Chains A and B, each alone.
Chain A
Amino acid sequence: MKLQRKPRVRALAVGALAVSGALALTACGTDDTSGGAGGAGKPAKAADIKCEGKGKLLASGSSAQKNAMDVWVQNYSGACKDTEINYQPTGSGAGITTFLQGQTAFAGSDSALKPEEVAKSKKVCKGGQAIDLPMVGGPIAVGYNVPGVDSLVLDAETLAKIFDSEITNWNDAAIKKLNPDAKLPDLKIQAFHRSDDSGTTDNFTKYLKAAAPSAWKHEPAKKWEGKGGQAASGSSGVSSQVKQVSGAISYFELSYATSGKIPTVKLDTGAKAPVEATTANASKAIAEAKPASEGDDLALELNYATKAEGAYPITLVTYEIVCDKGNKAETLPATKSFLTYVASKDGQAALEALGYAPLPPETADKVRKTVATLS
């Protein structure tokens, strides 16, 4: 038995070496990329970060702002050694729930609070209520995979019909009309939507409803309401399907299109030229937005039907949610100082390389003023 065993042990050892070697190599790979991303946001001036408060700051919520948070937290904790910030990208819904249970200092969310959530927040915020602070925006790109088509222009109505299974072939007359020069193949359209409830879906359907109310009959919601099509889970899920399936089209944050080298649709908004999904164009759309309410709550009402030159209307604004009054005394100083940095010039400038759209200066200014009044 012993003699027989030995070669097997040796084979196992070789296998284990191979596996751990491969793991070590891949670990190096990920280290490198994260180092690169960190480098992009490194120049954090101490001038914009005023360290206040000590200890641990817990936060959770939207996964759309995870990459931005990573950079902010890295810069902030580099300057302020006494504060540790822990942001869990659990999703907007879970983020709001834990915040309303009083477990976190602030929550990240892709959509502004609903009235009933504001009412609930009065329990946690003693003497105050929860408010939305816009912190960063991002274009939702519409990515496609049509062989032989490098540039594609669509308008809201065609998009709505494609995602509601009314237009089912790429050589449909409506698409041809918008793209007279493109060679559109006779190929079935595979429209992909998110299978999980998502802030991206919410914003995308808000756009369809606002810009093409006659073609999109469903109410905007986090849950997909359209007819037909296929579903996949998460932005990474839908974007990888688009890469894989010929004839596919779907919507996801721009960064997924950039990293996956997926071509994106230019939108015919009614402006002179079709608008491309870029961070600069998204910032223009955010600048067009109006405040949704009076007072401290800075939730923005985006004009999805905008015809402004170069404004990309399918834009997502993610918020940080805090109490205007009645924040916990032990986390308040650190929360204020961190959010002030996030809304500062440097904090916003760190984002562009990541595919996020910085807030327009006036909005960022308002956010900083509101943060200063938190108590």
Chain B
Amino acid sequence: MTSPVLTETPPPPGNDAHPSVSGKAVRPGDRIFLGLSRGSGIALLVIMAAIAAFLTYRSVLAISGDKANFFTTLEWNATGTEPKFGIAVLAFGTVVSSVIAMLIAVPVAVGIALFISHYAPRKLASPLGYVIDLLAAVPSIIYGLWGALFLVPHLSGLYSWLDDYLGWTGIFAYGDGAARSLFTVGILLAIMILPIVTSVSREVFLQVPKMHEEAALALGATRWEVVRMSVLPFGRSGVISASMLGLGRALGETMAVATVLSPSFLINTSLLNPGGGTFAQNIASKFSEANQFGQDALIASGLVLFVITLLVNGAARMIIARRKEYSGAAA
């Protein structure tokens, strides 16, 4: 919704602020404001550049001391006398658990958002929205504790059932250990990202021009057809943006994952068996006992997470840009 507005306005005033202001007498207030805003803009760039330079410098130190391939090694031993570490397990775990979280959370969130915006009676809608928003206020360590003490013991039954019927796929094979696996992490992350995806989607669905909906109803469409033909296409780019916000949280979630997962450095084809790891969880658990070089290695893995997040966001922006004309936001 904001992007079309941005493209219609003239290019940011940073460059031509002087000519436009210099036409009239320049007041001191203008000059101060210009200085302040320009200063903050530059400060932001400098801070970002400093962070990037720091991360890159420490990562280069670490990777050049790595005695194994940084991208393919299934081991993390950065504090040993012969440091060997690689991000393969972490990248796999991070991506897989986030994808599971998205697969579960996005449909549910869209459903809740539609219910709140188009189906629920008003008396129910606002308390429900309020409760969903409250979920976002729960600190992640609370989710971790709840996951470890309640969710994990209760999931083993479901996992055994999945194993009975889908075990042959290999993905859903399950031993009889505690259910502290990537799939559990995915479920927990799904619950954690639900509020943000829901509330943004709800706002977008509420923005659908009433005329569209009324026109569809006038043509004899049912409630579901209205949703399908006018609400969902209108809200698509908004839902994608909302999902990306949720994905960002899922990719970087630390404490909840560290509490619920049984981390180990192997890539397990079964998502239900314990094992795996994520970038953020690995950094959190290894940082306190790491020496200088070990910290550098963890920073290098953090840089990879940073790049992955950038790629995901870039891809999302491209999708949204391509769908912009269908969104109806310009209407």
Contact = CB atoms under 8 A, between A and B. Distances in A.
Interface in A189-234: 190, 195-199, 221-223, 229-233
A93 B79 contact: yes
B178 A195 contact: no
Contacts of B153: 244
B288 A94 contact: yes
B95 to A, nearest CB: 20
A230 B177 contact: yes
A48 B262 CA distance: 46
Contacts of A195: 258, 262-264, 285
Contacts of A244: 149, 153, 178
Contact of B258 (A229, A233, A245): A233
B178 A190 contact: yes
Interface stretch (B39-47, B99-107, B223-231, B289-297): B289-297
Given A93-B291, A231-B263, 19 more contacts: A92-B289, A94-B287, A97-B295, A188-B175, A195-B263, A196-B285, A197-B79, A197-B286, A198-B289, A221-B80, A222-B289, A223-B76, A223-B80, A229-B264, A230-B178, A230-B264, A233-B258, A233-B263, A240-B149
A222 B149 CA distance: 27
A188 B273 CA distance: 15
Contacts of B200: none
Contacts of B80: 221, 223
A240 B176 CA distance: 18
Interface of B: 76-77, 79-80, 148-149, 153, 175-178, 180, 258-259, 262-264, 274, 285-292, 294-295
Contacts of B286: 196-197
12 contacts: A92-B289, A93-B288, A93-B290, A97-B295, A190-B177, A196-B285, A197-B79, A197-B289, A230-B180, A230-B264, A231-B264, A231-B274
Please give me the 5 A-B residue pairs with the lowest Cβ-Cβ distance, nearest first. A91-B288, A197-B289, A93-B289, A196-B285, A230-B262
Contact of B290 (A197, A237, A245): A197
B178 A91 contact: no
Contacts of B180: 230, 232
Q: Which of B177, B259, B287, B291 has the most CB of A within 10 A?
A: B291
A223 B77 contact: yes
- Where chain A touches its partner, the secondary structure class is mixed
Contacts of B290: 93-94, 197
User: Which size bracket describes the interface of A in this complex?
Assistant: 20 to 34
A229 B262 CA distance: 9
B134 to A, nearest CB: 10
A90 interface: yes
A233 B281 CA distance: 10
Nearest to A228: B264
B291 A96 contact: yes
Nearest to A11: B127
A232 B258 CA distance: 8
Contacts of A199: 289
Nearest to A198: B289
Contacts of A197: 79, 286, 289-290, 294
A255 interface: no
A241 B176 CA distance: 15
Interface string A136-156: 000000000000000000000
Contacts of B178: 190, 230, 241, 244-245
Contacts of A222: 79, 289
A85 to B, nearest CB: 21
Interface in A85-130: 90-94, 96-97
Contacts of B177: 188, 190, 230, 245
Nearest to B127: A8
Contacts of A91: 288-289
